[in-house]
Homo-oligomer: A and B are copies of this chain.
Amino acid sequence: MTQTTQIVLAKRPQGAVTDDCFRIERQALPALGDNQVLVRSLYLSLDPYMRPRMTELRSYTPPFELDRPLTGGSVGEIVESRNPKFAAGDVVVGMLDWATHTVHDGRGLRKIDRDAAPLPAHLGILGMPGYTAYHGMLRMGQPQSGETVFVSAATGAVGQLAGQLAKLKGARVVGCAGDDAKCAYATRELGYDACFNHRSETDYGAALDKLCPGGIDVDFENVGGAIFHAVFARMKDFGRMVMCGAISEYQDSTPQPGPEKMFGIVQRRLRIEGFIISDHTAGMGEFVTEVGALLKAGKIRNRETVVDGLEQAPRAFIGLLQGTNFGKLVVKV
């Protein structure tokens, strides 16, 4: 009988997520039924969208259940299979429990080539965060040469690729990030033309006026709140705001109002559009081919933070919401 170590949702957070929202448990797993597989987790992806799932609020993914393991995008190895599509030794990517082992029905698991790229890349730059950047920036934002693009959370798992893709299109790319080291990385390594520290900067409007003096054509929005409001006021005619996330708002206990002068959407012919990448899985193959080639050719840089040990996941997730990670955050299980 296989034992699993798993992290369950012990209580729903009120405001900021705290340690006592999680509980580590050991559990005996049942024998496999027809079509089931036993997967051993290798890497677990930590992503901001998981925060809204911890509440009971309506969201695009069902809420995590109390006293049940949280789940997340993971890379794992098939240990035992009663599913004809998978064999022991296969490496797969898909949604697994925050656990050392998951019993899974195989649906949504995708086999990957162990040698194609380092395994954590399948959760980051070549996985859902990378595809989010690719779809949102290229298909929705459609930056043109000479345009000005703004990326909030410039060095995050999504932002780092979004900014680089816009740069490859010939746009001027400006971002913000949560500390000076991230800003330096953005401009020195990722090719951003400018980046401001949104923790030390007190006047976002003034910072944007200085760094984007002609206004903004494309906003790739990860942060929401005051940064979003300042960007909205500076969008140019026919500007596109790609709404990917709003991490600054996820832990608000009272909702904040939207930006002033929404009539500007008419005057400036703005398009503001939200998306969730799981609606667009059909285009994933094209993305992996294209960005995989850019990565192999050294035209795209990638930064990950790997935290060692499943039991570190809760603390790493709390840090992610506070912006203490650098680049894509994964847990080596």
Binding site for B on A (CB under 8 A): 52, 58-60, 224, 228, 237, 243-246, 249-250, 255-276, 279
Contact = CB atoms under 8 A, between A and B. Distances in A.
B270 A274 contact: yes
A231 to B, nearest CB: 12
Number of copies: 2
Contacts of A256: 260
28 contacts: A60-B237, A60-B267, A60-B269, A224-B262, A243-B265, A246-B262, A246-B263, A249-B263, A255-B260, A257-B260, A258-B258, A258-B259, A258-B262, A259-B262, A265-B272, A265-B274, A266-B274, A266-B275, A266-B276, A267-B274, A267-B276, A269-B273, A269-B279, A270-B272, A271-B271, A271-B272, A271-B274, A272-B272
Nearest to A263: B246
Given A267-B274, A274-B268, A259 B261 contact: no
Contact of A269 (B245, B257, B259, B274): B274
Nearest to A254: B260
Contact of A260 (B244, B258, B262, B265): B258
A245 B52 CA distance: 33
Contacts of A268: 60, 274
A290 B174 CA distance: 45
Contacts of A261: 249, 255
If over half of A's interface residues share one DSSP class (helix, strand or loop), that class is named, otherwise mixed; here it is: loop
Contacts of A52: 267
A141 to B, nearest CB: 14
* In the A-B complex, the 6 residue pairs with the closest CB atoms: A258-B258, A257-B257, A265-B274, A266-B274, A246-B263, A255-B260
A259 B259 CA distance: 8
A207 B44 CA distance: 46
A59 B256 CA distance: 27
A188 B260 CA distance: 37
Contacts of A264: 274
B276 A273 contact: no
Contacts of A267: 52, 58-60, 274, 276
A258 B229 CA distance: 10
Nearest to A272: B272
Contacts of A270: 272-274
Nearest to A246: B263
Most buried by B among A228, A258, A271: A258
A134 B230 CA distance: 33
A224 B265 CA distance: 11
